[in-house]
Amino acid sequence: MQHEDKVANGVKGYNSNSIHVSYIGGINDSGRAEDTRTLEQQFALLKLLLNLKARYPDAIILGHRDFPGVRKECPYFDVREWLKLNMAA
């Protein structure tokens, strides 16, 4: 884990003003891209993102694939939709 005040290599052009969060998974047993998060991973991710959002209220939370010019599929779920559903609960 890298401390959030350090610049990480995550999304070209956005590294100096971003905090990067990742999880282990995203590939199913057949080697194909898939949302493989466990409930425990989902709860931990939500808890972390809620904590970060409380500390950085103006932050915009995006998946890697949501940044302009990124040609990746990760994460293999719609971050904004997932947050909408889970932050309202």
Is the confidence at residue 51, as pLDDT, over 70? Answer: yes
Distance CA 40, CA 61 (A): 20
Domain spans, the chain: 15-87
- Tell me what pLDDT residue 60 has: 94
Residue 75 class from Cβ within 10 Å (0-12 exposed, 13-18 middle, 19+ buried)? Answer: buried
Which one is predicted more confidently, 24 or 44? 44
3-state secondary structure of 1: coil
Q: What is the mean pLDDT of residues 42-53?
A: 94
Would you say the pTM of this structure is higher than 0.75?
A: yes
- Mean pLDDT value across residues 77-85: 93
Whole-angstrom distance, CA of residue 45 vs CA of residue 48: 5
Task: Tell which residue, 25, 20, 23, 15, has the closest CA to residue 2.
Answer: 20
